[in-house]
A and B are shown apart, each in its own frame.
Chain A
Amino acid sequence: MIRVIVVGNGMVGYKFCEKFIAKSGQEKYQITVFGEEPRRAYDRVHLSEYFGGKTADDLSLSTSEWYAENNITLNTSELIIDINREDKTIRTHLEKTHTYDYLVLATGSSAFVPPIDGVEKEGVFVYRTIEDLDAIMAYAKKIKQKGATEAAVLGGGLLGLEAAKAVRDLGLNPHVVEFAPRLMPRQLDKGASDMLQSKIEELNIGIHLNKATQYIDGKESITGMMFANDELLKVDMLVISAGIKPRDELARVSGLEVGLRGGVVVNNQMQTSDPSIFAIGEVALYNQNIYGLVAPGYEMADVAAEQILNGTKTMRETIDMSTQLKLIGVEVASFGDPFIENNDVTAIVYENKLSGIYKRINVTKDSKTLLGGILVGDSSDYNSLFQIYSNAMALPKNPEDLILGSRDGSGGSTLGSAMDLPDTAVICSCENVTKGAICCSILDESCSTLSDVVKLTKATSGCGGCKPMVSDLVKATQKSLGKEVKDVICEHFNYNRQELFDLVKINKYENYYDVLDHHGTGDGCEVCKPVVASIFSSIYNDTANKHVTTQDTNDRFLANIQRNGTYSVVPRVAGGEITAEKLIVIGEVAKQFDLYTKITGAQRVDLFGAHLNDLPKIWKILIDNGFESGHAYGKSLRAVKSCVGNAWCRYGMDDSAGFAIELENRYKGIRSPHKLKGGVSACIRECAEARGKDFGLIAVEGGWNLYIAGNGGANPKHAVLLAEQIDKETVIKYMDRFLMYYIRTAGPLIRTSTWLEKLDGGLDYLKEVIIEDSLGICDTLEAEMQTLVNTFECEWKQVLEKPRLLKRFNHFVNSDEKDDNVVFVPLRDQKMPKAWT
């Protein structure tokens, strides 16, 4: 047996073992690991989640069985204090000696503590290990009892900001103190740092830049930090996260070559100055640099494993330090050279203070090459930009399209298809998986599905940022093999929504379990049940009362579940027009049931905080006073917003409010693939924001302009013009056809805008179908819609009329009590659920 000893049981030491045992020829080797910490290797990258309730076990990278199964001996709580390089032995602090053939130093780093007077005071911590975190938690608890509220974090880098979040999770107000004039000085420029700062300050985290700490104030324990300008920051705890220091002391005493500022010098095979000793991870000084990121550490582990097994793999010359992460909820990414500035380079910067977005790309003057960049607030372009950068791909004619998106109206991603990437492109940088490896695994038939590929290559198992790209590659490769790639609903049905819609219609199924018996497997799930229920509703106009077991929770209780498990109630106020009497009724209901009230964006009133048991009582009063369900809980028409129209407005060209009420009443209650919203404006000033809706009407000279497929929300989209200057009857005819065609053909939870984007032939094709009737289906579509309109029933009225339907509105089966776990706290003049912790 050839003996390999690994010193250090952190993420990189663990990765070395994992890589080693996966390689061929390893059977002749015996690995022994020593770790000074009392536990198995854990995920230090997600350390702050320990404060969020994760346990040490949760963060653990493996199980003790894993070591046993792979014949690896793990010794925890045992520190190596000496290496005898002549005899090839090591000595532990328990005075035990072990012989090695190869030694791998993966001792990592410790927190760098700047030499500031008073850092030894009580209440000053470093942020590195689970033990550090335990000490921080215990201290925070203690000082909070004494009324302390403020704590500082020294260091505004990546880890420092992570630590600030952890401090905040402990219930203290964090202050980030940074020596440099900006946050994350290694990754961000001034503009990006400013943007990040304003986003973080919104969360009540103090940011103190340009601050040189003179000394730590306080007697035995810290009470403040004194800065160079005699400014005192009063804090009762300090967490130092100001950088790392390689743990090279073992290498030093053994006479291995170390760098001036620390770190064990290695070559591109990860060998130290002693060829049988390797160093990897944060202790290794490669190309005069220490790499504090996990991806290069993992690559070093792989290289060292290869080299010991006589492989040829070496470390790349330049190591990529690109990162993409979410810091305290803010997306941040940087890649390539984020700062480069010289005569041959142009920086293109986009800054939007309103939405908190900063983007910068550095391109060569000839606009041909992307050299690096920074993204703050929205890093969705990161994957494409990183691929373009790392594969030196050609840039679009206007390089600014890379961050602004193409603005010629054609839409589409700036990168084009992921299939255009070279095979060498690294798709998953955490696990170093190339496009070639992903596609190959499908082509050589070792994998057939996305989850096979994930299992085999480990792609996406790190940060997960590459998921969309990996999924696209798998789909595209399958397609290239002529395999049918289908967006099936879930594991229980091998059909998409449109196919299921047709199956239900043709076979006249009326019960979910009939469909499952004939066309599915298993027990169904939370994905397919609501889809089938919605199909029933769209075909038969069945209300949600008929398919209680398969409706989604909001449909099941005909109300919207809110943060503490209570519900909100929205009565329909068609077109936003309401009488004083009805307003008073809403107010009285809110008072009687102690509900929080808010005007919604859809011109109606939302009543929050209703107990499940109270819903029927509330609706009894509302219905007795002429209200009906507003379907705010359903994937159905919500509201048709309107301006007041020509009845009052001196600019109005038509009765927009009247038309909105007519449309809302026509389409109310109809279940669709996703929610539907409408708008009607009486002139082009567009006060009803009709072009931000699934359907919108604007009164013009000679009739109405009909717009379709817009929406607000996460990806706002303007509605596009379907027909101009048409009369009301034509509007309704086109609307019937458009909505019914959408309901028939769209996937589950696809809004009209996405549906239209994906529709082959786009708007022109849609016009052919629903205006020119190219498929000859318009009569059917109109008839189907008319049936739905004719059979509308208010679901809440149904419930109140049938006592057996009332049973489900009880929190307990065996008691009439309400949920006693619900707690409200005051909010301005009203109330809200107690905050989640």
Chain B
Amino acid sequence: MEEILNQYETVHPNDAKIWFKAGKISDFPTNRGGCIKYKNKQIAIFNFTRRNEWYACQNACPHKMEMVLARGMTGSADDIPKIACPMHKKTFSLVDGSNLNGEDYKIATYPIKVVEDEVFVGFLD
């Protein structure tokens, strides 16, 4: 199972070497998640319309390694945008991937940018 997690590592916006076109804005649901496939990775993408902000993170919940974060509910905690896993309601910051329930596992986050009506996710390779 660790192999699943090893694939995902946070990419900082300045480090991104490849900007992968994930789809058009209209392909993604608003205020909840959509999952995209990039090589062998599954990435969850969230469009927070009220903030006019987009976030991307690994789709695997590190608690039980299921590919489900895109199906969770979005929200905020102390104004930090977050995602709650649909399995056991573990919540993670979409800004730095940290667990907001005080547990230890965290998720990898990816930079995301919207150019005109297209959505791009940044990867190292």
A814 lies within 8 A of chain B by Cβ: yes
Residue of A524, A563, A564 touching B76 (CB-CB under 8 A): A524
Sampled A-B contacts (7; CB under 8 Å): A523-B50, A525-B73, A525-B82, A526-B72, A550-B73, A552-B86, A563-B66
A293 lies within 8 A of chain B by Cβ: no
B4 lies within 8 A of chain A by Cβ: yes
List, in ascending order, chain B residues with CB within 8 A of A522's CB.
75-76, 79
List, in ascending order, chain B residues with CB within 8 A of A548's CB.
29, 32
The distance in angstroms between the C-alpha atoms of A808 and B82, with both chains bound, is 21
A836 lies within 8 A of chain B by Cβ: yes
Nearest residue, chain A, Cβ from B2: A53
Nearest residue, chain B, Cβ from A814: B36
| Contact A561-B29, Cβ < 8 Å, known A525-B84, A836-B65 | no
Contact residues, A719-745 vs B (CB, 8 A): none
Binds B, one of A139-147, A691-699, A770-778, A815-823: A815-823
Cβ distance B27 to chain A, nearest Cβ, rounded Å: 5
Nearest residue, chain A, Cβ from B84: A526
Nearest residue, chain A, Cβ from B73: A526
- Cβ–Cβ contact B81 & A814, under 8 A: no
- Cβ–Cβ contact B71 & A549, under 8 A: no
Q: Interface code A517-559, partner B: CB below 8 Å = 1, 0 otherwise?
A: 0000011111011100000000000000000111011101100
- Cβ–Cβ contact A553 & B71, under 8 A: yes
Cβ distance B28 to chain A, nearest Cβ, rounded Å: 6
Could you say which of B4, B22, B60, B71 has the most chain A C-beta atoms within 10 Å of its C-beta? B71
- Cβ–Cβ contact B78 & A491, under 8 A: yes
- Cβ–Cβ contact B22 & A814, under 8 A: yes
- Cβ–Cβ contact A561 & B87, under 8 A: yes
B74 lies within 8 A of chain A by Cβ: yes
- Cβ–Cβ contact A561 & B28, under 8 A: no
B117 lies within 8 A of chain A by Cβ: no
Residue of A525, A552, A565 touching B68 (CB-CB under 8 A): A565
A513 lies within 8 A of chain B by Cβ: yes
Seed contacts A523-B48, A525-B73, A813-B45; 8 additional CB < 8 Å A-B pairs: A58-B104, A523-B76, A525-B75, A548-B29, A553-B72, A561-B68, A814-B27, A821-B66
Cβ distance B77 to chain A, nearest Cβ, rounded Å: 7
Cβ distance B39 to chain A, nearest Cβ, rounded Å: 12
List, in ascending order, chain A residues with CB within 8 A of B71's CB.
553, 556-557, 561, 565, 612
Which A-B residue pairs are the 9 nearest by beta carbons? A525-B75, A553-B86, A526-B84, A523-B76, A813-B34, A526-B73, A565-B66, A58-B104, A522-B76
Nearest residue, chain A, Cβ from B91: A526
Binding site secondary structure of chain A: loop
- Cβ–Cβ contact B32 & A813, under 8 A: no
List, in ascending order, chain A residues with CB within 8 A of B64's CB.
563, 836
Residue of B29, B68, B84 touching A549 (CB-CB under 8 A): B29
Could you say which of A548, A557, A814, A815 has the most chain B C-beta atoms within 10 Å of its C-beta? A814
A245 lies within 8 A of chain B by Cβ: no
Cβ distance B64 to chain A, nearest Cβ, rounded Å: 5
List, in ascending order, chain A residues with CB within 8 A of B27's CB.
813-814
Cβ distance A58 to chain B, nearest Cβ, rounded Å: 4
Nearest residue, chain A, Cβ from B89: A526
- Cβ–Cβ contact A552 & B73, under 8 A: yes
List, in ascending order, chain A residues with CB within 8 A of B34's CB.
813
The distance in angstroms between the C-alpha atoms of A837 and B4, with both chains bound, is 12
- Cβ–Cβ contact B86 & A561, under 8 A: yes
- Cβ–Cβ contact B75 & A815, under 8 A: no
Cβ distance B109 to chain A, nearest Cβ, rounded Å: 17
The distance in angstroms between the C-alpha atoms of A113 and B104, with both chains bound, is 33
B115 lies within 8 A of chain A by Cβ: no
Contact residues, B30-62 vs A (CB, 8 A): 30-32, 34-37, 42, 45, 48, 50-51, 60
- Cβ–Cβ contact B36 & A523, under 8 A: no
- Cβ–Cβ contact B75 & A837, under 8 A: no
A651 lies within 8 A of chain B by Cβ: no
Contact residues, A490-534 vs B (CB, 8 A): 491-492, 513, 522-526, 528-530
List, in ascending order, chain A residues with CB within 8 A of B36's CB.
812-815
Number of inter-chain CB pairs below 8 Å: 103
B13 lies within 8 A of chain A by Cβ: no
Residue of B30, B35, B50, B86 touching A813 (CB-CB under 8 A): B35
| Contact A523-B37, Cβ < 8 Å, known A808-B29, A814-B23, A837-B1 | no
B16 lies within 8 A of chain A by Cβ: no
- Cβ–Cβ contact A813 & B68, under 8 A: no
List, in ascending order, chain A residues with CB within 8 A of B72's CB.
526, 553
A811 lies within 8 A of chain B by Cβ: yes
List, in ascending order, chain B residues with CB within 8 A of A524's CB.
75-76
- Cβ–Cβ contact B32 & A565, under 8 A: no
The distance in angstroms between the C-alpha atoms of A557 and B73, with both chains bound, is 12
List, in ascending order, chain A residues with CB within 8 A of B81's CB.
523
A455 lies within 8 A of chain B by Cβ: no
Q: Interface code A792-833, partner B: CB below 8 Å = 1, 0 otherwise?
A: 000000000000000010011111010101100000000000
List, in ascending order, chain B residues with CB within 8 A of A513's CB.
50
B67 lies within 8 A of chain A by Cβ: yes
List, in ascending order, chain B residues with CB within 8 A of A836's CB.
64-65
List, in ascending order, chain B residues with CB within 8 A of A612's CB.
71
Nearest residue, chain B, Cβ from A553: B86
Q: Interface code A43-74, partner B: CB below 8 Å = 1, 0 otherwise?
A: 00000000001110010000000000000000
| Contact A553-B22, Cβ < 8 Å, known A491-B78, A561-B87, A814-B27 | no
Contact residues, A555-587 vs B (CB, 8 A): 556-557, 561, 563-565
Nearest residue, chain B, Cβ from A556: B71
The distance in angstroms between the C-alpha atoms of A815 and B23, with both chains bound, is 10
The distance in angstroms between the C-alpha atoms of A762 and B55, with both chains bound, is 48
List, in ascending order, chain B residues with CB within 8 A of A822's CB.
67
Could you say which of B30, B36, B48, B66 has the most chain A C-beta atoms within 10 Å of its C-beta? B66
Could you say which of A526, A530, A563, A819 has the most chain B C-beta atoms within 10 Å of its C-beta? A526
The distance in angstroms between the C-alpha atoms of A529 and B23, with both chains bound, is 27
The distance in angstroms between the C-alpha atoms of A247 and B35, with both chains bound, is 55
Nearest residue, chain A, Cβ from B74: A523
| Contact A553-B29, Cβ < 8 Å, known A565-B67, A813-B35 | no
Residue of B30, B35, B75 touching A526 (CB-CB under 8 A): B75
Q: Interface code A476-497, partner B: CB below 8 Å = 1, 0 otherwise?
A: 0000000000000001100000
Cβ distance A585 to chain B, nearest Cβ, rounded Å: 28
- Cβ–Cβ contact A815 & B37, under 8 A: yes
List, in ascending order, chain B residues with CB within 8 A of A819's CB.
42, 67
Could you say which of B35, B42, B51, B91 has the most chain A C-beta atoms within 10 Å of its C-beta? B35
Nearest residue, chain B, Cβ from A517: B50
Residue of B35, B45, B76 touching A811 (CB-CB under 8 A): B35
Cβ distance B118 to chain A, nearest Cβ, rounded Å: 12
The distance in angstroms between the C-alpha atoms of A565 and B91, with both chains bound, is 17
Cβ distance B110 to chain A, nearest Cβ, rounded Å: 15
Could you say which of B28, B51, B73, B91 has the most chain A C-beta atoms within 10 Å of its C-beta? B73
- Cβ–Cβ contact A821 & B60, under 8 A: yes
Nearest residue, chain B, Cβ from A564: B66
The distance in angstroms between the C-alpha atoms of A560 and B32, with both chains bound, is 18
Q: Interface code B1-33, partner A: CB below 8 Å = 1, 0 otherwise?
A: 100100000000000000000110001111110
Residue of B29, B30, B35, B75 touching A523 (CB-CB under 8 A): B75
List, in ascending order, chain B residues with CB within 8 A of A815's CB.
36-37
Nearest residue, chain A, Cβ from B35: A812
- Cβ–Cβ contact B37 & A814, under 8 A: yes
- Cβ–Cβ contact B77 & A491, under 8 A: yes
The distance in angstroms between the C-alpha atoms of A62 and B60, with both chains bound, is 29
The distance in angstroms between the C-alpha atoms of A55 and B2, with both chains bound, is 13
List, in ascending order, chain B residues with CB within 8 A of A563's CB.
64, 66
Nearest residue, chain A, Cβ from B30: A549
Cβ distance A130 to chain B, nearest Cβ, rounded Å: 15
